[in-house]
Structure 1
């Protein structure tokens, strides 16, 4: 499934070559430095909460999926093809963003530099896809 989703990402990204590396780099840097990491327990009093972009902005903080969802929102506004990716980081579930610019895929992760990636260095277990009405309703706009 990972290869199929990445193939779709690559094919659709090549159709819209107006996306730029500079825009991706600016989104990555501004979100990673402009917001702070905070657990869902600290922010919402519960173990898991996927914040909308508006909630993330209002809090000025969030956990990995909140950073990824907000980056996804900004990338979508700029027409940059991307996907959320789920994997284990230090044995803990983690979510980041993969984007493609001019044929090169990049991983935008919280507290990490923007790095070019290939299928050979992704250890993703699955891609996060908007499968539930809740996700589509809250995060697609």
Structure 2
């Protein structure tokens, strides 16, 4: 089986799982805990200087969105589409600099995947306050960026390293900071409190 066919089958399986479980979802599996202010990543700060309209003003935070089958399908589709259409490359390879956040055309770094997914989901009608760029640490200690989607069933992450859309607490990452839900230019610090929920992950 080739990789593309396997990825497509994974997409279908995830959608079927959502439909079959939709009548039995309990309370949210958990949301990330915000514990204070954080400085924005330098790449996002510079991105805001270029794309000022995307970082100005504030949002009315109505709380996490209701995760319907239609919205779940959109999350899966956009995560899969971007992951399979953009080739991962570092900023050093693309631009010759250590860090640059930009919308990718054919190649991009992890944060570029996130920016494109966020933009496409907003066009689909998702509230920007529920689509938050998030900085994490991988198990090997390297930094990484994912897109957090706030829902009434918990915080999910869209990741260029996998096509499966997962609850944040089911990933192997340590969560550090993300965009504030009421201000696209402001960032907040996260407490990875899964020690009481799923053992010692992230502590």
TM-score w.r.t. structure 1 length?
A: 0.72
**RMSD (Å) for aligned C-alpha atoms:** 3.0
Answering whether residue 74 of structure 2 is matched by residue 44 of structure 1, we say no
Mark the CA change 1:35 to 1:105 in structure 2 (over 3 Å): closer, same or farther: same
Mark the CA change 1:101 to 1:114 in structure 2 (over 3 Å): closer, same or farther: farther
Q: How many residues align?
A: 123
Q: CA deviation at 1:79?
A: 2.3
Residue 85 (structure 1) aligns with = 134
Answering whether residue 174 of structure 2 is matched by residue 131 of structure 1, we say no
Which structure has the larger Rg? 2
TM-score w.r.t. structure 2 length?
A: 0.52
Unaligned segments of structure 2, at least 5 residues: 1-31, 36-59, 187-203
The correspondence of residues 2-81 of structure 1 with structure 2, limited to 5 A, is 2-4=32-34, 11-14=63-66, 20-51=71-102, 53=103, 56-57=104-105, 60-80=106-126, 81=130
Where 1:25 maps in the other structure, the secondary structure is helix
Checking the alignment, whether the CA contact within 8 Å between 2:83 and 2:163 is kept in structure 1 is: no
Unaligned segments of structure 1, at least 5 residues: 133-141
Q: Could you list the structure 1 runs, at least 4 aligned residues long, displaced by more than 3 angstroms after superposition.
A: 16-19, 118-122
